[in-house]
Copies of this chain bind each other. A is one copy, B any other.
Amino acid sequence: MKASQFLISTLKDAPADAEVVSHKLMMRAGLIKKLGAGIYNYMPMGLRVIRKVEAIVREEMNKAGAIELTMPVVQPAELWQETGRFEKMGPELLRIKDRHGRDFVVQPTSEEVVTDIARQEIRSYKQLPKNFYQIQTKFRDERRPRFGLMRGREFIMKDAYSFDRDQVSAKQSYQVMADAYRKIFDRFGLTYRAVAADSGAIGGDLSEEFQVIAATGEDAIVYCPTSNYAANMEKAEALVPAHARGAATQAMAKTATPGKSTCEDVAALLNVPLNTTVKSLVLATDTLNDKGEVVKSHVWLLLLRGDHDMNEVKVGKLPGFEGGFRFATTQEIDDHFGCKPGYLGPVNLKQPLKIVADRDVAVMADWICGANEVDFHMTGVNFGRDVAEPDLVADIRNVVAGDASPDGQGVLAIERGIEVGHVFYLGTKYSQAMNATFLDVNGKPQFMEMGCYGIGVTRLPAAAIEQNHDERGMIWPDAIAPFTVVICPVNMDRSEDVKAAAFKLYEDLLALGVDVILDDRGERPGAMFADWELIGVPHRVTIGDKGLKDGVVEYQNRRDSESTKVAVADVLAHVKAQLGL
């Protein structure tokens, strides 16, 4: 490609609404252009990256035996009503009425449609397993679209769906996909981690997220530097502490803590470690009748160590919490504690309620909690003596760095990541809802076992930039760079030698199938270099009159601070070596 025949459109400054570095750089380098909130044009430079991502995904999906098809962007509501998602999904699901007033949705994913295809196409166990995938436009009407392609409304996703005859086979299909994902992310040339993720109501371990590591990532990733353990924060288990509960050594006493309503403030006031305090969280669960009305509510007290945070996914799995939970109302709190939040505790309850203690709280002695009296806390509190033993002890907190690794192989560390892929064993959730059956070896209908597997095709470039950039711009891995090599001739219009050398190298690289761009725009060297550093093309060759007189050109790797002088005769070999050709 010659730059003069392409659209190169760089900006000095990012638009004010670009908050994260990938969004800023993609806008500045002209990879994307905003059309509306969370809706972007994929500009020529950006589309090249997206197409390379798609090509790698497609190749590995095909190798893994998945079969490509395309499901419509606009889908009739009927199938979504079969699974109940048309009603259950919130305003994120973009709903449309056509000219006849019929309901449609713009697909956010395609479980319903692919299950409809499977139930029509697959009649016998002999046709299984099958895995169908598409690389297709999706839409989620996010309440707050932001961060450019990171959390857009319209985006491209690769979504695959596997169908199997039983769980054993489904788990194999899952593993084939998980392996393919590793190959895909390896090929992208990014640092990533596959982390165990929560598999919701289905249970088991068949859910992994593929996280591109970046300090700016939204997700906390938990891993063990000395083992293979890795999980997302929702999933990572906080083990039962190794030590048993110590004996009580203090008497319970009421202490004035005027205005100190947080564990941090109380610990500071009393000059004790934060981990000697206990925070009281009051939650409620509701029992509904057939009409969806609340007929009964239960109030629960959850106890967490002052330095720990509640993990909502873990809490959602507690017995009695399966139907969902909420924070208790002020009235409910007053009914049970006779006190407002900030000074709550399990002592002197106005009305009894069930207590769930985190595993780490359960082994504490002589702890501090609210006195159920404004401006007062209790110290020297002990289970069994001052407070009844908890009704339930469970892991209900987020792990923290330094916690023991669940695999027993060391301690946990935490880093940030951006989720760009997810493999998930679905079980029969959709096949049951949509009656997708096949005839098994005995001729009996069985529900298909399903899995779903997503890659955020347009999110991936944003994640790559969050991980790979510097103050000058983006730094692309070769595999997904908009161009692999850029040739920058300096003052080409004034030197036939420069022009000849630049075109020679350009033609040679094209002949090798290298994705090279020749910058023939006639820009000044400074502006030209700044553009390509911003755009982040990984390999640059600069050809100038002065160098040519000494028989050299300059090779610059985008990651290096210094360029290398290379003899004109060796430049092709040098570039080839850099590209691993």
- Knowing A65-B5, A137-B137, A141-B98, the reply to whether A71 touches B41 (Cβ < 8 A) is yes
CB distance from A116 to the nearest CB of B (A): 8
Contact indicator A35/B94 (Cβ below 8 Å): no
- Knowing A91-B99, A99-B91, A143-B99, the reply to whether A73 touches B43 (Cβ < 8 A) is no
- Interface membership of A6, Cβ < 8 A: yes
CB distance from A14 to the nearest CB of B (A): 15
A120: chain B residues at CB < 8 Å are 33
CB distance from A226 to the nearest CB of B (A): 41
CB distance from A146 to the nearest CB of B (A): 15
A69: chain B residues at CB < 8 Å are 7, 41-44, 47
CA distance A117 to B137 in the complex (A): 20
- Interface membership of A185, Cβ < 8 A: no
CB distance from A229 to the nearest CB of B (A): 35
Contact indicator B75/A36 (Cβ below 8 Å): yes
- Interface membership of A9, Cβ < 8 A: yes
CA distance A50 to B135 in the complex (A): 14
Q: Of B6, B36, B41, B67, which one neighbours A67 at CB under 8 angstroms? A: B6
Q: Of B6, B9, B47, B73, which one neighbours A73 at CB under 8 angstroms? A: B73
A7: chain B residues at CB < 8 Å are 67, 69, 121, 130, 132
- Interface membership of A175, Cβ < 8 A: no
Interface positions, chain A 79-107, Cβ under 8 Å from B, are 91-92, 94, 96, 98-99, 104, 106
- Interface membership of A72, Cβ < 8 A: yes
- Interface membership of A39, Cβ < 8 A: yes
- Knowing A94-B98, A96-B94, the reply to whether A117 touches B33 (Cβ < 8 A) is yes
- Knowing A7-B67, A41-B117, A67-B6, the reply to whether A137 touches B73 (Cβ < 8 A) is yes
Contact indicator B74/A106 (Cβ below 8 Å): yes
The 0/1 profile, CB within 8 Å of B marked 1, for residues 137-173 of chain A is 1010101000000000110000000000000000000
> For chain A, what secondary structure do more than half of its interface residues adopt (helix, strand, loop), or is it mixed?
mixed
- Interface membership of A76, Cβ < 8 A: yes
CA distance A74 to B139 in the complex (A): 8
CA distance A340 to B57 in the complex (A): 69
Contact indicator B6/A121 (Cβ below 8 Å): no
Contact indicator A70/B91 (Cβ below 8 Å): no
Q: Taking each of A71, A74, A91, A141, which has the highest tally of chain B beta carbons within 10 Å of its own beta carbon?
A: A74
A36: chain B residues at CB < 8 Å are 72, 75-76, 78, 104
Contact indicator A72/B117 (Cβ below 8 Å): no
Contact indicator A70/B41 (Cβ below 8 Å): yes
CA distance A317 to B249 in the complex (A): 102
Interface positions, chain A 468-508, Cβ under 8 Å from B, are none
Contact indicator A74/B39 (Cβ below 8 Å): yes
Contact indicator B35/A75 (Cβ below 8 Å): yes
Contact indicator A35/B130 (Cβ below 8 Å): no
- Interface membership of A365, Cβ < 8 A: no
- Interface membership of A529, Cβ < 8 A: no
Interface positions, chain A 242-301, Cβ under 8 Å from B, are none
Contact indicator A94/B74 (Cβ below 8 Å): yes
CA distance A72 to B46 in the complex (A): 14
Q: Which residue of B lies closest to A121 (CB)?
A: B9
20 residue pairs A–B, Cβ–Cβ below 8 Å: A6-B67, A7-B67, A9-B121, A36-B76, A39-B72, A41-B69, A41-B117, A43-B69, A43-B117, A44-B68, A44-B132, A47-B68, A72-B154, A73-B73, A73-B106, A74-B94, A74-B139, A74-B154, A91-B99, A99-B141
By a beta-carbon cutoff of 8 Å, the part of chain A in contact with chain B is 5-7, 9, 33, 35-36, 39-44, 47, 50, 65, 67-76, 78, 91-92, 94, 96, 98-99, 104, 106, 113, 116-117, 120-121, 130, 132, 137, 139, 141, 143, 153-154
Given contacts A7-B132, A36-B75, A47-B68, 9 further A-B contacts (CB under 8 A): A35-B72, A41-B70, A43-B117, A44-B67, A73-B137, A74-B153, A94-B96, A96-B96, A98-B141
- The 9 tightest CB contacts between A and B, nearest first, are A91-B99, A36-B76, A42-B70, A44-B67, A99-B141, A39-B72, A96-B96, A44-B69, A72-B154
